[in-house]
């Protein structure tokens, strides 16, 4: 396109500084006003609609207005009363005398609470006089099981078999008669590597017949599964399953004893051991039913329980053996013989665990850095698990109880190696070992197991913590006379009062002190003579009142006998008094009576 004429000049876009600054100023002011309006909108409440009031055409307008005015007056009066009440309460709190009284009251409550907590914390667990257990009662149950059994199964924890053995138990069984036999049951074999099972069986069979066993952990009440697979052919899944393993070997061992002893009727098998080694679980696995109550806490079994396995075998469940006190408190905790919640010092058992275990394995298990002592380890663990007090201070005791709970529940898998050199204990002789091996035909069982262990493959030992065993549990054996267990409850009702006297040992006051230093008593059977009648002490009465030791039926029979005895005495006393009063008030005037009882005033009244 061709432009004609004068060319157009392009207009410049430049502006003066005055105009430029004027525009910027107005824009800035506009933005300020917008921000101010936005702030008002945020803080602005929505406007309420104004009450238009009562329309003039509404009926009863005056009455409605009067009621509204009355409501308004009542609301104002209520508001005024509430204000006066708040002022009175504030004035009451400002009173110095009431403030001082309140401070004294709160101080007393705090002191009482502190004293109670100190008393609770100062009480240590005593296996002899605890609330839940009694050495005397548990010893009686143990004696019942030993006396009534032909074969004693001593259940051992496969993780620490030496620590679960008690020489006093074995001495008691051997001293009770030549016909008593002992069999060691290595329970919980699923918690240790398979390589160690054969080593422990070889070591323990140098003393007594030993069987490897794994109790069933199923929860149903009936038809507990039982595996017949040999231990060498058992897979890892089968060993770690809830099925029972090793019951056939145990029953075969008992059958061998019946054949060698020519027992054609039936035998009674007692099951003994420390708490939480699996005594009741073993019985339930053999019975294939929940015949005995089981639990992870110590003291579930309180008295002897009888279970009929079949027409040939009868099982007797025994409460856990009471361990020694004092130096063995740490061992009691590590063997789950004490409730973790009742511990006053949970740090000491953890220190024992650290002393006997590999530090690197514990560091890997809990994912904590390197530490130098038990307090540092527990502090690191408490911070990792979030167990903190006020101010971020680590709760060391809570962390220690967590470690002990993991230890006793099996979350921390550990094992112990058998001693390299075997030394026969003093209470076991070579003759006893040979006799029991012959009675149970342990040789044939060893031949079968030798073939079983040829292809044995187990899990690696790297995932399990190596633990140093503390050895067998020792105790001081003292002669303490216990009351007769089999009290004659069918006593004749018309027997003399002297024959019903309660026999009390004169040294009963020091009995608990003596019992506190022993693991288990092995007294010989003595023919006791009756002591003179004494009043029963409060300590003896309180013994039957302990929770868990109360035998309701027996106690009721005792109370009934006592009531009948008192009734007979009362009747005899009433009869005697009645006869005396009758004789005194007899004013019969018969001839014979007059001749015998006539007064002579010259002799009788001078």
Task: Please report the pLDDT score of residue 520 as a whole number.
Answer: 29
Q: What is the mean pLDDT of the chain?
A: 71
Reported pTM: 0.52
Residue 412 resides in a domain: no
Task: Please indicate, yes or no, if residue 226 is contained in any of the structural domains.
Answer: yes
CA-angle at 161, arms to 159 and 164, nearest 5°: 110
Answer with the residue of higher pLDDT: 30 or 368.
30
pLDDT tens digits for range 280-339: 888 888 887 776 666 555 556 666 777 887 777 888 877 766 655 444 567 777 777 777
Band (33; pLDDT cuts 50, 70, 90): very high
Please state the domain count of the chain: 1
Residue 484 predicted with pLDDT over 50:
no
Structural domain boundaries, residue 176: 135-323+426-458
CA angle 599, 603, 604 (to 5 degrees): 55
Q: 41 in a domain, yes or no?
A: no
pLDDT in the model for residue 603? 62
Question: Does residue 205 lie in a domain region?
Answer: yes
Q: Which residues lie closer than 8 Å to 260 by C-beta, 6 or more apart?
A: 438, 439, 440, 441
Q: What is the CATH number of the domain that holds 277?
A: 3.40.50.300
pLDDT tens string 367-385:
889 888 999 999 999 999 8
Q: What is the pLDDT of residue 15?
A: 92
Share of the chain above pLDDT 70, in %: 61
Check pLDDT > 50 for residue 132: no
Residue 576 lies in a domain: no
Query: What is the model's pLDDT at position 218?
Result: 63
pLDDT tens profile 494-524 = 444 444 433 334 333 343 333 333 232 333 3
Other beta carbons within 10 angstroms of residue 462's beta carbon come to 8
Q: Does a structural domain hold residue 385?
A: no
pLDDT at 462 (0 to 100)? 58
* 399 inside domain: no
Residue with tokens 């040999």: 230
Q: What angle do CA 464, 466, 468 make, to 5 degrees?
A: 150
Give the burial class of 213: count Cβ atoms within 10 A of its Cβ; 0-12 exposed, 13-18 middle, 19 or more buried.
buried
Would you give the end-to-end CA distance of the chain in angstroms? 186
| pLDDT tops 60 at residue 222 | no
Q: What DSSP letter does each residue of 509-562 carry, written as one string?
A: GGHHHHHTT-S---PPP--PPPPPP-PPPHHHHHHHHSTTT--HHHHHHHHHHH
Residue 42 lies in a domain: no
Distance CA 391, CA 100 (A): 30
At residue 279, the pLDDT reads: 82
Number of Cβ within a 10 Å radius of residue 348: 14
Rounded to 5°, angle at Cα 135 from 408 and 162: 45
Which pLDDT does position 479 carry in this prediction?
Answer: 38
Question: CB under 8 Å, gap of 24 or more: what pairs does 260-263 form?
Answer: 260/438, 260/439, 260/440, 260/441, 261/439, 263/150
């Amino acid at each position: 396109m061709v432009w004609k004429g004068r060319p157009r000049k392009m207009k410049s876009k430049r502006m003066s500084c005055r105009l430029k600054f004027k525009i910027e100023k107005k824009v800035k002011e506009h933005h300020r006003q917008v921000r101010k309006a936005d702030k008002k909108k945020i803080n602005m409440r929505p406007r309420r609609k104004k009450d238009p009031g009562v329309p003039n055409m509404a009926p009863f307008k005056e009455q409605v207005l009067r009621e509204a005015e009355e409501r308004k007056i009542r609301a104002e009066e209520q508001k005024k009363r509430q204000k006066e009440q708040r002022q009175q309460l504030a004035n009451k709190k400002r009173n110095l005398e009431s403030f001082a009284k309140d401070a004294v009251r709160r101080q007393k409550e705090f002191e009482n609470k502190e004293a109670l907590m100190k008393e609770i914390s100062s009480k240590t667990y005593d296996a002899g006089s605890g609330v839940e257990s009694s050495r005397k009662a548990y010893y009686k149950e143990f004696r019942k099981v030993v006396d009534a059994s032909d074969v004693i199964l001593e259940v051992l924890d496969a993780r620490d078999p030496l620590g679960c053995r008690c020489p006093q138990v074995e001495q008691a069984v051997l001293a009770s008669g030549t016909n008593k036999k002992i069999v060691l049951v290595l329970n919980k074999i699923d918690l240790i590597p398979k390589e160690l099972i054969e080593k422990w069986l070889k070591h323990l069979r140098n003393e007594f017949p030993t069987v490897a066993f794994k109790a069933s952990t199923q929860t149903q009440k009936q038809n507990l599964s039982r595996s017949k697979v040999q231990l060498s052919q058992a897979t890892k899944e089968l060993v770690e399953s809830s099925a029972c393993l090793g019951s056939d070997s145990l029953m075969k061992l008992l059958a061998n004893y019946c054949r060698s002893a020519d027992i054609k009727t039936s035998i009674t098998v007692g099951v003994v051991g420390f708490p939480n080694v699996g005594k009741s679980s073993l019985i339930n696995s053999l019975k294939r039913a929940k015949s005995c109550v089981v639990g992870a806490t110590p003291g579930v079994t309180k008295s002897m329980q009888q279970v009929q396995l079949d027409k040939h075998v009868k099982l007797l469940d025994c409460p856990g053996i009471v361990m020694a006190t004092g130096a063995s408190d740490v061992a009691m905790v590590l063997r789950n013989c004490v409730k973790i919640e009742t511990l006053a010092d949970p740090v000491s058992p953890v220190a024992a665990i650290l002393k006997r275990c590999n530090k690197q394995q514990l560091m890997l298990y809990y994912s904590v850095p390197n530490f130098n002592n038990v307090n540092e380890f527990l502090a690191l663990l408490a911070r990792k698990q979030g167990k903190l007090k006020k101010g971020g201070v680590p709760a060391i005791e809570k962390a220690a109880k967590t470690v002990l709970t993991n230890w006793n529940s099996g979350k921390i898998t550990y094992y112990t190696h058998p001693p390299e050199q075997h030394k026969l204990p003093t209470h076991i002789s070579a003759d006893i070992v040979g006799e029991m091996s012959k009675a149970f035909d342990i040789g044939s069982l060893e031949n079968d197991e030798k073939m079983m262990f040829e292809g044995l493959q187990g899990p690696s030992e790297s995932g399990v913590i190596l633990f140093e065993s503390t050895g067998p549990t020792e105790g001081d054996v003292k002669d303490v006379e216990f009351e007769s267990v089999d009290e004659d409850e069918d006593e004749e009702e018309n027997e003399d009062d002297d024959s019903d006297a309660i026999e009390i040992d004169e040294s009963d006051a020091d009995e608990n002190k003596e019992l506190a230093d022993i693991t288990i008593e092995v007294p010989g059977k003595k023919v006791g003579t009756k002591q003179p009648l004494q009043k029963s002490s409060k300590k003896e009465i309180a013994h039957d009142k302990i929770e868990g030791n109360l035998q309701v039926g027996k106690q009721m029979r005792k109370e009934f006998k006592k009531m009948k005895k008192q009734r007979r005495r009362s009747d005899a006393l009433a009869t005697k008094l009645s006869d005396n009063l009758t004789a005194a008030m007899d004013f019969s005037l018969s001839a014979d009576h007059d001749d015998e009882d006539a007064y002579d005033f010259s002799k009788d009244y001078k």
